[in-house]
């Protein structure tokens, strides 16, 4: 059984650029959630995908978008990067479509720095 993996580990971008972050869910998991964790804050829910469909979204603008693939891996895309997008981006996977009742397993995160 493999755990949740994320790539890249670190990333530096400039304002206005676009970025794609990747997440491979734990084996057998069909649900992926993405979180943004700014320094000194708790994780903030961005959105969740279940069986390739978005089934929940937090208070993030449309320039934050995602995809889930048939193998349940996922991407987070952020367009028109702003300085405030600098954060640790976490993905978490679970089985069954409900992170509130299933146990979520978190990845190590991708540290994004926007200059």
Partner 1 sequence: AQRVTQPEKLLSVFKGAPVELKCNYSYSGSPELFWYVQYSRQRLQLLLRHISRESIKGFTADLNKGETSFHLKKPFAQEEDSAMYYCALSRNRDDKIIFGKGTRLHILP
Give the interface with partner 1 as residue ranges (CB under 8 A): 4, 33, 35, 40-45, 48, 55-58, 90, 92, 97-101, 103-108
Residue closer to partner 1 (CB basis): 22 or 57:
57
CB of 41: closest distance to partner 1 in angstroms? 6
Could you tell me the two tokens for 47?
Answer: 């959105």
CB of 108: closest distance to partner 1 in angstroms? 6
CB of 10: closest distance to partner 1 in angstroms? 16
Contacts 24+ apart (CB under 8 A), 76-81: 76/20, 76/21, 76/23, 76/34, 76/46, 77/18, 77/19, 77/20, 77/21, 78/18, 78/19, 78/21, 78/112, 79/18, 80/16, 80/18, 81/13, 81/14, 81/15, 81/16, 81/17, 81/18, 81/19, 81/114
Residue closer to partner 1 (CB basis): 45 or 64:
45
Residue closer to partner 1 (CB basis): 81 or 107:
107
Residue closer to partner 1 (CB basis): 81 or 109:
109
CB of 112: closest distance to partner 1 in angstroms? 17
């Amino acid at each position: 059984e493999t755990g949740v993996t994320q790539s890249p580990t670190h990333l530096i971008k400039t304002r206005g650029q676009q970025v794609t972050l990747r997440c491979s869910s734990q084996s057998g998991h069909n649900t992926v959630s993405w979180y943004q964790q700014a320094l000194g804050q708790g994780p903030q829910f961005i959105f969740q995908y279940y069986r390739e469909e978005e089934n929940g979204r937090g208070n993030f603008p449309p320039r934050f978008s995602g995809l889930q693939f048939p193998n349940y891996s996922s991407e987070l895309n952020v367009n028109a990067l702003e300085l405030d997008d600098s954060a640790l981006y976490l993905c978490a996977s679970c089985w069954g479509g409900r992170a509130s009742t299933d146990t979520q397993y978190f990845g190590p995160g991708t540290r994004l720095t926007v200059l």
